[in-house]
Structure 1
Amino acid sequence: MSRNPVAAAAGKFPEDVVRFDDVSMRYGRGPDVLTNLNFGLAPGSFHFVTGPSGAGKSSLLKLIYLAAQPSKGLVHLFGQDVAHAPASAKPQLRRRIGVVFQDLVLLDHLSTFDNAALPLRIAGRKPADYRNDVAELLTWVGLGQRMHAMPATLAGGERQRLAIARAVVNRPDILLADEPTGNVDHDMAVRIFRLFVELNRLGTTVLIATHDQDLIARSGRPVLLLENGRISPKPAQGPLA
């Protein structure tokens, strides 16, 4: 797995923020959906994960954000073996990870603004300190005129953009996105990708699960290919014109 080029040039190889060691996962007594995965994500890296439906992309993300446990092997986050981490440490680990869920998981009793600001509230920040930042971010994703709307009144694409805003608002150390451009048009997909790129430039490690081969090809970013529960890295290609 490629390392951070700046660190490599300095002769330093930072510990992966995500590391899978011989990880397999199954649901109940069913067959493995992920089999013997060995890979790492270096700090500040940007990858796509792709593969056919049912290949295990969402399951892979669940293991990283601690919504599921492996049936075999070890998952490390920020250098910590998750299986042996105390229960009190896991909420802190999750707070360092922003997630765009495929089913969005918005809170229907909170406004658009309050949904987007939720990670900052949980972190203990005061509304006066983040009000302008949240408003600017919502404007960036095209929801500047919908900040006081409730999720039930938003269209599918608007809900998708709100979920993305909530995931990135606190500049997480890791951003996981499960089909983040599935319900938006091409122009908004490009705009969202630019947001992810800017977050990555600020140091966030980004992993996007998607079927959007055009977005992957144009990005020029490396790809992790999931097939039959196994993963194989593909080298980055130059972005298309």
Structure 2
Amino acid sequence: MSRNTHAAGAFDADPAVVRFDDVSMRYGRAPETLKDLTFSLAPGSFHFVTGASGAGKTSLLKLIFLAARPSKGLLHLFGQDVSAIAPREQPFLRRRIGVVYQEFKLLEHLSAFDNTALPLRIAGRKPESYRQDVAELLTWVGLRSRMHAMPATLAGGEKQRLAIARAVVNRPDILLADEPTGNVDHEMGLRILRLFVELNRLGTTILIATHDQDLVAASGMPVLHLDEGRLTRLAGGSAA
């Protein structure tokens, strides 16, 4: 599985792919969901975000994917201030970010192959240009024999691995995953973790939001912990 590359200067002058400087976020007039976050993610790093339900893990991922905006502070992606990014430019930036959603968000009328290939079709690629790549990717996640299966016939672990394949088919620079093992057993969770570790070895920056402490312990990766919207540093973390 080859890694996507970008032209020199893709990360601009800032070596971090993600940088939060005193960032807060709220929904409407509600109290702040995230409060005064300051941290950065280096290219090729691997972090977990942990915290109790409602601590703000999903909101943090939404900020990075440009699905929400900070109410305060500065957020930089790939060296760019997100507040200065025009709406028409956001889709191009999002293509550098893969997302594995907690609810999978698979299209039930499409096969596993077509679900995986969907981001490429949306980007205007022709089937003949990606057919082999998608087949290799489904093999990589252990779904080659299920590539023509419909989502309704897949087990929970298979759906999760399919969601991962779809998220990485564009070879993103960053992969965000929201509770990726929440619907699978421990053994399948470890298998999914191995997929993330392999992807990270290929150069993708990984950020996983989870409450699965066994998964975190098995990984040995740095942890950023959210406590009522505030970020604290645990062993190996990089929160300031």
Whole-angstrom CA distance in 2 between matches of 1:156 and 1:191: 13
Q: How big is the shift at 1:151?
A: 2.2
SS at match of 1:206: strand
Whole-angstrom CA distance in 2 between matches of 1:28 and 1:183: 31
Structure 2 alignment gaps of length 5 or more: 1-12
Whole-angstrom CA distance in 1 between matches of 2:129 and 2:233: 41
- Identify which of structures 1 and 2 has the higher relative contact order when contacts are C-alpha pairs closer than 8 Å and 6+ apart: 2
Q: 1:203 corresponds to which letter in structure 2?
A: G
The aligned runs of 1:141-220 (5 Å cut-off) are: 141-220=141-220
1:68-93 CA distances to partner (integer Å, 9 max, x unpaired)? 11111121110111111111210011
Whole-angstrom CA distance in 2 between matches of 1:33 and 1:127: 42
SS at match of 2:38: strand
Whole-angstrom CA distance in 2 between matches of 1:233 and 1:171: 29
- 70-79 or 116-125, which deviates more: 116-125
Q: 2:110 corresponds to which letter in structure 1?
A: L
- 144-153 or 191-200, which deviates more: 144-153
1:14–1:42 Cα contact (<8 Å) kept: no
Whole-angstrom CA distance in 2 between matches of 1:44 and 1:218: 19
**Which residue is 2:20 aligned to?**
20
**Which residue is 2:55 aligned to?**
55
**Which residue is 1:112 aligned to?**
112
**Which residue is 1:102 aligned to?**
102
Q: 1:167 corresponds to which letter in structure 2?
A: A
Q: How big is the shift at 1:61?
A: 0.2
SS at match of 1:32: coil
TM-score relative to the length of structure 2: 0.87
Q: 2:51 corresponds to which letter in structure 1?
A: G
- 227-236 or 77-86, which deviates more: 227-236
1:33 aligns with 2:33: yes
- 127-136 or 159-168, which deviates more: 127-136
SS at match of 1:145: helix
SS at match of 2:145: coil
- 86-95 or 14-23, which deviates more: 14-23
SS at match of 1:194: helix
1:82 aligns with 2:107: no
- 74-83 or 104-113, which deviates more: 104-113
Q: How big is the shift at 1:42?
A: 0.7
Counting matched residue pairs gives 225
- 197-206 or 219-228, which deviates more: 197-206
Q: How big is the shift at 1:133?
A: 2.6
Percent of counterpart pairs with the same letter?
A: 75
TM-score relative to the length of structure 1: 0.87
SS at match of 1:23: strand
Pair 1:14–1:23, CA change in 2 (3 A): closer
Whole-angstrom CA distance in 2 between matches of 1:67 and 1:106: 19
2:95–2:170 Cα contact (<8 Å) kept: no
RMSD of aligned C-alpha atoms? 1.8
SS at match of 2:33: strand
Q: 1:41 corresponds to which letter in structure 2?
A: L
Whole-angstrom CA distance in 2 between matches of 1:133 and 1:193: 22
- 31-40 or 139-148, which deviates more: 139-148
Q: 2:45 corresponds to which letter in structure 1?
A: S
SS at match of 1:53: coil
Whole-angstrom CA distance in 2 between matches of 1:107 and 1:70: 30
1:171–1:199 Cα contact (<8 Å) kept: no
- 122-131 or 170-179, which deviates more: 122-131
Whole-angstrom CA distance in 2 between matches of 1:156 and 1:79: 37
